[in-house]
Amino acid sequence: MRIFHQNEAGKSGLWRRVIHALSKNPLAIFGLTLISVVVFSAIFAPWIAPHNPFDVNLKEQLLPPGGKYLLGTDDMGRDVLSRCLFGFRISLRAAVIVILVACTVGVILGGTAGYVGGWVESLLMRITDMFIAFPGHVLALAIAGALGPSLTNAIIALGAVWWPRYARMVRGQVLSTKSSLYVDAARAIGAGHLRVFTHHIFRNSFSPILVMATMDVGIVVITLASLSFLGLGAQPPTPELGRMIARGRLYFLNQWWIATMPALGIFMMGLGVNLLGDALRDILDPRAYRQ
């Protein structure tokens, strides 16, 4: 049993190493700060938003930033700051759902293919290849268009095209891990297939999944905003960032803040998760710690 206690101790040491390394990386701290601000704004949007994001006030439409409205108002007199805060909430929630769906499907299919092998692996990987053969954005557009324009359908479309990335990555991790000595030791003491996979193979494949999921949050947010910009995502009056940009582009030359502020919000989310993801990738790369 000693080998498994050492494995658990190694896991706790890994997380201590990650926290220590992140604290010494200025870019990672900056990225984590950006993400923290966005997450805080998303969680507490109903309490910190200065105005109701749905309230229409035609008497105060197209007001510039400053005074009562820190980021100005849109063409319907709605507060841009309040709509951006609720836009963070919608975008992050949708991105997390897409990533969770993609990770779950990818881990199940990729893990099964890598662990079982044989015709099961061939069948699952051919299905995965069929999805990968289509450009992801084009396939997402096709699925969202077929299902109809709505935020829920956009999330379904993105989840349907995102899982193959995780399936192929998890399969590769399982193939490289299942022949390890600690896996053979677990089998030797009578551990079942499910326990071997969940406690010894998947746990040691978690680091690359975490890095990919972190990096993908920003990409999913941008892709979801793109679908909404094209009219296939969130519908009015939902304060979704991509939809706000689509609306604001009509007034960009004179009322630049309507489209610029939500675009800056998307940029902040993308920059934060990419900086943090790059740092995690460097920290969790075992080659970086070879002596």
Show me where the domains of the chain are located. Answer: 88-289
Cα distance between residue 280 and residue 207, in whole Å: 9
pLDDT for 1: 39
Comparison of pLDDT for 171 and 181, the residue scoring more: 171
Residue 58 pLDDT exceeds 80: yes
Paired residues of 73 in beta bridges: 79
- Identify whether the C-beta of residue 233 lies closer than 8 Å to the C-beta of residue 248: no
- Identify whether the C-beta of residue 70 lies closer than 8 Å to the C-beta of residue 84: no
Mind listing the pLDDT tens digit for each residue in 13-28? 566 777 777 778 888 8
The two tokens of residue 132 are 């990968």
Return the half-sphere exposure (C-beta side, CA atoms, 13 A cut-off) of residue 273: 23
Residue 288 pLDDT exceeds 70: no
Closest CA to 38 of 281, 264, 210, 242: 264
Return the half-sphere exposure (C-beta side, CA atoms, 13 A cut-off) of residue 219: 15
DSSP state of 66: B
Mind listing the pLDDT tens digit for each residue in 135-165? 888 899 999 999 999 999 999 999 999 999 9
Does the domain spanning 88-289 belong to CATH 1.10.3720.10?
Answer: yes
Helix, coil or strand: residue 73: strand
Between the alpha carbon of residue 122 and those of residues 95, 114, 118, 161, the distances in Å are 30, 10, 7, 20
Residue 221 pLDDT exceeds 60: yes
Comparison of pLDDT for 215 and 22, the residue scoring more: 215
Most distant pair of Cα atoms in the chain: their distance:
76
Residue 279: other Cβ atoms inside 10 A: 24
Residue 286 pLDDT exceeds 70: no
Q: What average pLDDT does the segment 86-93 reach?
A: 93
pTM: 0.86
